[in-house]
Amino acid sequence: MGSERLKTPEESDNPPEQKSALTNLWRMKKYLHPYRYRLALLWSMVLLNIVSGLAIPPLVGRAIDGPIAHRDIPGLWAIVGVIAVLGAADALLNLVRRYFQTTTAMAIEADIRGALYEHLQVLHTGFHDRWQTGQLLARVTSDLGMVRRFFAGGLVFAITSVGMIAIIMGQLLFIEWRLALIVLATAVPLLLIGRKFFREYLPAARSEQDQSGEVSSAAEESALGIRAIKALGRGPLMAARFEKEAEELRSRSIFKSMIASRSWSGYDAIATAGVGGVLVLGSTMVAGGSLSVGDLTAFIMLQLALLWPIEASGWVMAHGNEAMTAADRVYDVFDTEPAIKDRPNAKVIDRSEVRGELVFEDVRFAFEDDSREILAGVDLRVKPGETVAIAGKTGSGKTTLVSLPSRLNDPTAGRILLDGTDIRDLKLENLRSVVTTAFEEATLFSMSVRENLALGRPGASEADLEEAVRVAQAEFVYDLPYGLDTRIGEQGLSLSGGQRQRLALARAVVVRPAVLVLDDPLSALDVHTEELVERALAQVLRDTTALVVVHRPSTVALADKVALLHEGRIAAFGKHSELMASSPEYVDVLSAESEEVAA
Ligand SMILES: Nc1ncnc2c1ncn2[C@@H]1O[C@H](COP(=O)(O)OP(=O)(O)OP(=O)(O)O)[C@@H](O)[C@H]1O
């Protein structure tokens, strides 16, 4: 599965083969390994639990046939004492075992969640573009919760049930083999029901879990897009869409529960019928003198004790099935190989030695599953310290082009050189500390302003932050209630669009990269602030190589040269004044943009 093609959540809707789901849950055993000693202790306690619990019925049988039949009160007290000690030991073991069981399963869940989060971080942006966030959220939260519940409950129950069934059957055969055969005969219909249950429940559980991801996606999208929804007055429409998804989830959950209830009631009915059969035959045997009352009591007590593991095995199968499909969904993500990763001999360059020459050589790019080439042979050379503006019609591929130097995407052909080294030969982390990008969509995080600013350079000094705030004209941060320590809301939504953009710009400036990539970072600013930011930015750009996507003619002033992107190629390159004179397409693009801005 390692090289498996990326699946969309829709494709994941198709229930997997049971075999592969089993394999995926089995693959999780590596996360149990660090806890092997704790688990061994846990299983030992489970075993002791079973033994102490199952020693009681034969003792009751012995009390009936011995001290009770012979009115031997001291003998009765002796057996009652042993039963009381066994019962107390059973309860105490149960308590300790549950504590171990829960804490271990939680630790295992936390480990898998950590590994999954790390994996999500290294997956390329194309993966995140294609997967709904809600589907990923469901995998990180509810699916892993299911796996944890299986490790904490289902697996222990499974082992307990198998152990109990084996020991009880041994005891029953020992007490009266003919009655035990009746109990054994009930195993046949139980197995048949179990087989049917397995066949039906697995796809139903998968389909419910997939739908749960859809509901998470719908909820998440509505929360993120609440402003747009309100502004467009589409609240009722979105509510209806959400209701439809929720209704679908409800019907899939009911369908799944119906399968479980049907099987469980079948289990119950057969097991209880077995008890009835034993009562009838056992009483006849007692009447005929071939079985003692004590043995019949012990037999029935044990048979009743058997009901629990039989019922539990239905529950275990349901949990096991859900854990298997959940594991399968989690491995959909784990099995996606990061498309952008370090090459085996990737090197590290020292920031102080980087001159900052950036060269695009015949760079081509097409999105996954899309034959259209967005970039069809871009050749561009940005000299160290030079600022090159990228202009082009909307949709011409400017954002795509500037996503390449920090390897948010990799070219499908051609290469990009930083100081003569192919950027794919550099360690990703190192490359991204040298080449920093600020996007038009300024994403901030729900942490303090200071933490947001220092995200790309955790060791930044107070002076560095101040300088970046000044360059980005983001002094408004000092007026926030707690200054730089003010916690900003989710995605920085408590700030205005222009404030967010200025903070994101300051965050990029703090890194002091050798190459600064700005994807139209001033679009949300008013003309006055834009002018102030540009003036301050001009100082920073003096010693930094920069690629700046521009829409407004005023931003072009920041650049030494302008490259016009047209039909996937650099159609014109030179100074703004030269292009204005020589390239009618360039004049067209800029005048269209300024009309848009004016409008
Ligand atoms: N993840 C994606 N998958 C497939 N196609 C995409 C993806 N992202 C962008 N595109 C397409 O690639 C083309 C170039 O998009 P890009 O965002 O690079 O253009 P742009 O020049 O930056 O546009 P704008 O000026 O409007 O910001 C567009 O046609 C767009 O529809």
Q: Is residue 346 part of a domain?
A: no
User: For residue range 3-29, what is the model confidence (pLDDT) as tens digits?
Assistant: 333 344 444 433 444 445 458 888 888
Tell me, what CATH number does 410's domain have? 3.40.50.300
User: For residue range 47-105, what is the model confidence (pLDDT) as tens digits?
Assistant: 888 888 788 888 888 888 888 888 888 888 888 898 888 888 888 888 888 888 888 88
Residues 145 and 217 in one domain: yes
**Locate tokens 């009746």: which residue?**
182
Determine the pLDDT at residue 89.
86
Question: In whole angstroms, what is the distance from residue 151 CA to residue 320 CA?
Answer: 9
Task: Assess contact for 191 and 315: CB atoms under 8 A.
Answer: no
Specify the number of domains making up the chain.
2
User: For residue range 487-532, what is the model confidence (pLDDT) as tens digits?
Assistant: 887 666 578 777 888 888 888 888 888 898 888 777 767 777 777 7
Question: In whole angstroms, what is the distance from residue 441 CA to residue 438 CA?
Answer: 8
Question: In whole angstroms, what is the distance from residue 474 CA to residue 563 CA?
Answer: 29
Mean pLDDT of 384-413: 90
The burial class, CB within 10 Å (0-12 / 13-18 / 19+), for 40 is exposed
Task: Assess contact for 440 and 471: CB atoms under 8 A.
Answer: no
User: For residue range 280-325, what is the model confidence (pLDDT) as tens digits?
Assistant: 999 999 998 888 988 898 888 888 888 777 777 777 877 888 888 8
Cα 527 to middle of ligand 1, angstroms: 26
Query: Given the CA of residue 126, which atom of ligand 1 is nearest to it?
Result: 1
Label the pairing between strands 545-549 and 515-519. parallel
Question: In whole angstroms, what is the distance from residue 356 CA to residue 417 CA?
Answer: 10
Residues with Cβ within 8 Å of residue 457, at least 6 apart in sequence: 433, 464, 510, 511, 512
Question: In whole angstroms, what is the distance from residue 363 CA to residue 474 CA?
Answer: 36
Long-range own/partner contacts, residues 431-434 (CB < 8 A, 24 or more apart): 431/406, 431/407, 432/406, 432/407, 433/351, 433/457, 433/511, 433/513, 434/349, 434/351, 434/354, 434/513, 434/514, 434/515
Name which residue sits closest to atom 6 of ligand 1, judged by CA: 367
Determine the pLDDT at residue 596.
55
Q: Is residue 497 part of a domain?
A: yes
Question: In whole angstroms, what is the distance from residue 498 CA to residue 524 CA?
Answer: 5
Q: How many CB atoms lie within 10 A of CB 520?
A: 21
Cα 358 to middle of ligand 1, angstroms: 22
Residue 250 in this model has a pLDDT that exceeds 90: yes
Cα 395 to middle of ligand 1, angstroms: 5
Query: Given the CA of residue 129, which atom of ligand 1 is nearest to it?
Result: 1
User: For residue range 161-214, what is the model confidence (pLDDT) as tens digits?
Assistant: 888 888 888 988 998 898 888 888 888 888 888 778 878 887 888 888 888 888
Question: In whole angstroms, what is the distance from residue 513 CA to residue 351 CA?
Answer: 8
Residues 330 and 364 in one domain: no
Residue of 396, 404, 550, 589 best suited for mutating to test ligand 1, as the one with most atoms within 8 Å of CB: 396
Q: Residue 241, SS3?
A: helix
Residue of 399, 401, 519, 593 best suited for mutating to test ligand 1, as the one with most atoms within 8 Å of CB: 399
Question: In whole angstroms, what is the distance from residue 270 CA to residue 281 CA?
Answer: 17
Question: In whole angstroms, what is the distance from residue 571 CA to residue 590 CA?
Answer: 14
Ligand 1 binding pocket includes 398 (Cβ within 6 Å):
yes
Tell me, what CATH number does 77's domain have? 1.20.1560.10
The residue that leads in pLDDT, 347 or 458, is 347
Query: Given the CA of residue 519, which atom of ligand 1 is nearest to it?
Result: 22
Residues 473 and 522 in one domain: yes
Cα 497 to middle of ligand 1, angstroms: 22
Q: Is residue 2 part of a domain?
A: no
Ligand 1 binding pocket includes 319 (Cβ within 6 Å):
no
Query: Given the CA of residue 549, which atom of ligand 1 is nearest to it?
Result: 22
Residues 179 and 311 in one domain: yes
Task: Assess contact for 553 and 593: CB atoms under 8 A.
Answer: yes
Closest CA to 264 of 312, 306, 305: 312
Q: Is residue 512 part of a domain?
A: yes
Residues 421 and 315 in one domain: no
Residues 454 and 510 in one domain: yes
Cα 244 to middle of ligand 1, angstroms: 31
Name which residue sits closest to atom 7 of ligand 1, judged by CA: 367
Identity of the amino acid at 34: P
Name which residue sits closest to atom 1 of ligand 1, judged by CA: 129
Cα 242 to middle of ligand 1, angstroms: 29
Name which residue sits closest to atom 10 of ligand 1, judged by CA: 367
Residue 389 in this model has a pLDDT that exceeds 80: yes
Q: What percent of the chain has pLDDT over 90?
A: 17
Q: Is residue 469 part of a domain?
A: yes
Task: Assess contact for 372 and 564: CB atoms under 8 A.
Answer: no
Which of 303, 334, 365 is the C-terminal boundary of a domain?
334
Ligand 1 binding pocket includes 374 (Cβ within 6 Å):
yes
Distances (CA, A) of 67 to 61, 293, 388: 10, 13, 100
Identity of the amino acid at 253: S
Residue 191 CA, chain-centre distance (Å), reads 36
Q: Is residue 189 part of a domain?
A: yes
Residue of 124, 364, 374, 566 best suited for mutating to test ligand 1, as the one with most atoms within 8 Å of CB: 374
Q: Is residue 350 part of a domain?
A: no
Residues 290 and 385 in one domain: no
Mean pLDDT of 443-472: 87
Query: Given the CA of residue 440, which atom of ligand 1 is nearest to it?
Result: 27
The burial class, CB within 10 Å (0-12 / 13-18 / 19+), for 397 is buried
Question: In whole angstroms, what is the distance from residue 140 CA to residue 122 CA?
Answer: 15
Cα 82 to middle of ligand 1, angstroms: 78
Q: Residue 311, SS3?
A: helix
Determine the pLDDT at residue 11.
41
Name which residue sits closest to atom 4 of ligand 1, judged by CA: 367
Residue 403 in this model has a pLDDT that exceeds 50: yes
- The continuous run of DSSP H or E covering 362 comes out as strand 358-365
Determine the pLDDT at residue 200.
87
Residues 131 and 213 in one domain: yes
Query: Given the CA of residue 125, which atom of ligand 1 is nearest to it?
Result: 1
Ligand 1 binding pocket includes 392 (Cβ within 6 Å):
yes
State the sign of the Cα–Cα–Cα–Cα dihedral 6, 8, 11, 14: positive
Ligand 1 binding pocket includes 371 (Cβ within 6 Å):
no
Determine the pLDDT at residue 19.
45
Residue 486 in this model has a pLDDT that exceeds 70: yes
State the sign of the Cα–Cα–Cα–Cα dihedral 268, 271, 273, 279: negative
Mean pLDDT of 130-138: 79
Question: In whole angstroms, what is the distance from residue 440 CA to residue 66 CA?
Answer: 87
Query: 391 pairs with which residues across the strands?
Result: 564
What's the pLDDT band for 111 if we cut at 50, 70, 90?
very high
Q: What percent of the chain has pLDDT over 70?
A: 94
| Average pLDDT of the chain, as a whole number | 83
Name which residue sits closest to atom 9 of ligand 1, judged by CA: 400
Determine the pLDDT at residue 562.
92
Residues 293 and 432 in one domain: no
Considering the entire predicted model, what is its pTM?
Answer: 0.66
Backbone angles phi, psi at 105, to 5 degrees: -65, -40
Determine the pLDDT at residue 17.
42
Name which residue sits closest to atom 23 of ligand 1, judged by CA: 395
**Locate tokens 């796996």: which residue?**
147
Cα 397 to middle of ligand 1, angstroms: 6
Domain holding 396, by residue range, is 356-598
DSSP of 543-561, one letter per residue? TSEEEEE--SHHHHTT-SE
Which of 304, 334, 364 is the C-terminal boundary of a domain?
334
Residues 111 and 198 in one domain: yes
The two three-digit tokens of residue 380, written as one number: 């561009």
Q: Which residues of 105-120 are buried (b: 16+ CB within 10 A; e: fewer)?
A: beebbebbbeebeebb
Residues 210 and 247 in one domain: yes
Question: In whole angstroms, what is the distance from residue 71 CA to residue 66 CA?
Answer: 8
Question: In whole angstroms, what is the distance from residue 551 CA to residue 392 CA?
Answer: 8
Which of 287, 303, 334 is the C-terminal boundary of a domain?
334
Ligand 1 binding pocket includes 422 (Cβ within 6 Å):
no
Cα 399 to middle of ligand 1, angstroms: 7
Q: How many CB atoms lie within 10 A of CB 354?
A: 18
Closest CA to 365 of 409, 406, 330, 395: 409
Q: Is residue 554 part of a domain?
A: yes
Question: In whole angstroms, what is the distance from residue 268 CA to residue 310 CA?
Answer: 8
Cα 400 to middle of ligand 1, angstroms: 6
Determine the pLDDT at residue 131.
80
The residue that leads in pLDDT, 176 or 235, is 176
Residues 444 and 538 in one domain: yes
Ligand 1 binding pocket includes 409 (Cβ within 6 Å):
no
